[in-house]
Structure 1
């Protein structure tokens, strides 16, 4: 505790909270989390009379502004997403499993830990096709054996942020996803109480299998061959589009918002709050600017000015079909 009360050493401690193990500056969100943890530890020391006061003021912890919004260049458009998902099916031995797994993320915006927790009984799929429904209840994030009570790879207890234990949500199942899941279940003759996504050798479908499968398919679809000094071609991906599996969820939520689905409804389907949803995807919403500009023009016109008939103007989305996140590419991934 003497080191904490020494001004010079305390300054060194605060500096250490702002850098990674490699010495590089940490992200703002990491710095904020580290300071909050240290604040709580020192608060406990004060309660135990080991310190007279907490040297870290709560205001200092909260004043770092973190950037929530994702880079829209990460969002895959419909063509890119479908081509990459299709490439997965050719992989052996887990390609068809990973394809269906990631299709749930792209068409229903589920998180990976939510997809892996699904049972067959959690998906309502009309036999004739069309819209279905997915019930999300008990996510199982993969955090490693060292950090779970029972030594399992996945945490069986954790709930999504801001949701009570046992709370469920219902997500619409896009018709194309309904067809994919119907074929997937039929091919494996799965029963209602079976896990929807199991590994080739049983157990849960491993996160590393999903990530490796996605990385390979992404390289095939989005990569390009670059000639090296020795004349040999090396395939690389020089864009950040779809860099992470989670970007499939981003693509789906961006598509819903760009389709005009109310943010409150999208937030409910996504398992987010409306403020978090809008802060995260603010830079990915597109296709509505022209409509907003017309409204501004109408509001600022001088009195007595005649408005231009709406039919005389080009539609806001001229040159393409309505952007709905699944039927046509969104500009974010181009």
Structure 2
């Protein structure tokens, strides 16, 4: 996937256009910069199936309101909570597990690290520096010494 812009909801009083969403470049990058985000084939298929069934908004967004506009944070949150109730147990719904959509990002980064993807590649995919990755995901990295030792030992034998 190639990301090129973001459109955060900032409120109409804070934009030059009077719209509540502001078209911006990517965070911490030059205005016209893009960011390549590699995704595995299974996710490519899901995105393609979604586009085939629902299409995209005129500006390329995958998720939009009924008439093509932006989803409001409130609506997105309501949909997210309904989805959690559909797929999680009652105890999991009552817990902080995936309590907000952003939790998926943390889960994804943690999964990559736990799967043995090198920290440099995880940082690149997440759009982080190595320092940020280590600061926020040290818990996911810590505790993998046994697996690291086994990997090293397998190469030494």
Q: Work out whether residues 6 and 23 of structure 2, in 8 Å CA contact, stay in contact via their aligned partners in 1.
A: yes
Counterpart-to-counterpart distance in 2, 1:141 and 1:256 = 27
Question: How many angstroms does 1:253 deviate by?
Answer: 0.9
Q: 1:167-246 to 2 correspondence within 5 Å?
A: 167-189=33-55, 194-224=60-90, 237-246=93-102
Q: Work out whether residues 120 and 130 of structure 2, in 8 Å CA contact, stay in contact via their aligned partners in 1.
A: yes
Counterpart for residue 247 of structure 1? 103
Question: How many angstroms does 1:246 deviate by?
Answer: 0.4
TM-score, normalised to structure 2, is: 0.80
**SS of match in other structure, 1:245:** coil
How many residue pairs get matched?
A: 153
Return 5+ residue gaps in structure 2 as ranges: none
Closer, same or farther: CA 187–252 of 1 in aligned 2, 3 Å: same
Q: 1:132-151 to 2 correspondence within 5 Å?
A: 134-151=1-18
Question: How many angstroms does 1:200 deviate by?
Answer: 1.1
Instruction: Report whether the alignment pairs 1:285 with 2:141.
Output: yes
Question: How many angstroms does 1:254 deviate by?
Answer: 1.0
Question: How many angstroms does 1:177 deviate by?
Answer: 1.6
Counterpart for residue 116 of structure 2? 260
Counterpart-to-counterpart distance in 1, 2:148 and 2:49 = 43
Closer, same or farther: CA 179–287 of 1 in aligned 2, 3 Å: farther
Counterpart for residue 270 of structure 1? 126
Closer, same or farther: CA 280–194 of 1 in aligned 2, 3 Å: closer
Counterpart-to-counterpart distance in 2, 1:172 and 1:291 = 25
Closer, same or farther: CA 278–141 of 1 in aligned 2, 3 Å: same
Counterpart for residue 301 of structure 1? none
The structure that has the greater radius of gyration is: 1
Closer, same or farther: CA 188–291 of 1 in aligned 2, 3 Å: closer
Counterpart for residue 24 of structure 1? none
CA RMSD, 1 decimal? 2.8
Q: Cα deviations across residues 33-89 of structure 1 (Å, max 9, x unaligned)?
A: xxxxxxxxxxxxxxxxxxxxxxxxxxxxxxxxxxxxxxxxxxxxxxxxxxxxxxxxx
Closer, same or farther: CA 146–190 of 1 in aligned 2, 3 Å: closer
Question: How many angstroms does 1:191 deviate by?
Answer: 8.9
Closer, same or farther: CA 294–195 of 1 in aligned 2, 3 Å: closer
Return 5+ residue gaps in structure 1 as ranges: 1-133, 226-235, 296-308, 311-334
Counterpart-to-counterpart distance in 2, 1:293 and 1:170 = 32
Q: Work out whether residues 214 and 245 of structure 1, in 8 Å CA contact, stay in contact via their aligned partners in 2.
A: yes
Closer, same or farther: CA 144–223 of 1 in aligned 2, 3 Å: farther
TM-score, normalised to structure 1, is: 0.41
